[in-house]
Structure 1
């Protein structure tokens, strides 16, 4: 498994679900806001390592444990600040389960290479 796969023919990077895990697969924060901030940091690391950037994001899929509408007021400003001028297609999905019982947020992404 990989954090990202680059399709050189289409100059596209496909990024697997990023979560707030340390090297021991433990979350470092226990709130949606805290995990979202850490997930976005992890996403930026993968984008940079793959030769892409936030500005080159094509789509984001944000999974939140629970009813998404309950968190929109909290997560929208964090996402807006992260994206800045970038305007990828964005889908938010409320789910009952993620990678671990403590995982509250997961983000998948697709981006163009620079």
Structure 2
């Protein structure tokens, strides 16, 4: 099985030793994304909805670069720093995933690698 990295110019470049995504075996495995601009600046400090929307936009950009799309996502993992804000995540998320609803998990974590990030999302999609 061959592995190939995906690099989207419309999504933030990795901040450590990882790829935005890896294509393998007919799937695209996306690394966790926080609400960062292309130049690595966090959007919406303290605003879960703004950060969630930016992440979903970044996921779309990475999938587009990998030849896939949001309708091919099969699994999403969400990490939040405050579960009391989960309703805000769902308000934004449900506007993107209206008919297609990927399998999903959500866990609360103490902190994330990006300072002041409230949420990180990773996904697996079909190519």
- Scaled by the length of structure 1, the TM-score of the pair is 0.88
Q: Where does residue 32 of structure 2 map in the other structure?
A: 17
> Is 1:87 the counterpart of 2:104 in the alignment?
no
Residue 36 (str. 1) matches residue 52 (str. 2): yes
Whole-Å separation in 2 of the counterparts to 1:48 and 1:23: 15
Query: Which residue of 12, 22, 26 corresponds with 1:5?
Result: 22
Give the superposition deviation at 1:87.
Answer: 1.7
Q: What's 2:41 paired with?
A: 26
**Number of residue-to-residue matches in the alignment:** 109
Name the structure where helix makes up a greater proportion of residues: 1
Higher relative contact order (CA 8 A, sep 6+): 1
Distance in 1 of aligned mates of 2:121 and 2:77: 6
Long gaps (5+) in structure 1: none
- Native 8 Å contact 1:56 1:112 kept in 2: yes
| Contact 1:55/1:85, CA 8 A, preserved across alignment | no
1:65 aligned residue (81, 89, 99): 81
Deviation per CA, 1:14-56: give whole Å up to 9, x if none: 0001111234432121111110011110011011111111110
Runs of 4+ residues over 4 Å off in structure 1? none
Distance in 1 between residues matched to 2:91 and 2:43, nearest whole Å = 21
